[in-house]
Amino acid sequence: MNTHYEVNTKLKIKIMIVLIIVVICSIVSASLYISEGNIVKKSITDYLPYSQDSSLLFSIDDVKINTINEDGYIEILGWACEEGSDIVRYNCHVALEDVLRDIVYILPTMMIQREDVGAYFKNSGYNDSGFYSKAKTAQMQLDESRLEFVIIYENNDSKIYYHTGVYIENGEMVD
């Protein structure tokens, strides 16, 4: 009986170790994907058919900009949801619109759970409204541009190009 118990315990420990390794590898892979920051550069005219007016609720909670060297990055955390519409299919991107050059830099964006948003609006359908984005600043002209944060919201069947009124000018956040 004691030997059987030891075998089960050892097997459980091995399975637990394998599961931990798989979870760690998944987190590292997702982190590497985001940290590489494959920015897509598009013309603003690509988004002309999108709705400019909407009942989009959003918040940009945190922005970190590091432009000290060639490994600089921008990191953005926030949430967006369409008022009265649960999120069934997630496809939301943070972008920076270069106001002077009519270019849109679409940043790699991951969905994150924001149960605080769902709780605040008393709608669990908003729990998937969070986003996290990180990209290398070398792929953009942060020091020479006035960039506005825009949200490209394609959740469910929506197509919204939303101007947030939040800007980066010469690599710094401005009001």
Q: What is the pLDDT of residues 59-101, one digit of tens each?
A: 999 999 887 666 788 899 999 998 888 888 888 899 999 878 8
Which residues make Cβ contacts (< 8 Å) with residue 145, sequence separation at least 6? 98, 99, 100, 101, 168, 169, 170
Unique residue bearing structure tokens 């299919």? 89
**119 half-sphere exposure, CB direction, 13 A CA radius:** 4
- For residues 149 and 77, the answer to whether their CB atoms sit within 8 Å is no
The low-confidence residues of the chain, meaning pLDDT below 70, are 1-7, 22-37, 53, 68-70, 175
Which residues make Cβ contacts (< 8 Å) with residue 115, sequence separation at least 6? 124, 127
pTM over 0.85: no
User: Rounded CA gap, 82 and 156, in Å?
Assistant: 10
- Nearest Cα neighbor of 92 from 162, 155, 139, 27 is 155
User: Rounded CA gap, 39 and 100, in Å?
Assistant: 19
User: Rounded CA gap, 167 and 147, in Å?
Assistant: 5
The predicted pLDDT at position 131 comes to 95
User: Rounded CA gap, 41 and 136, in Å?
Assistant: 13
The predicted pLDDT at position 127 comes to 92
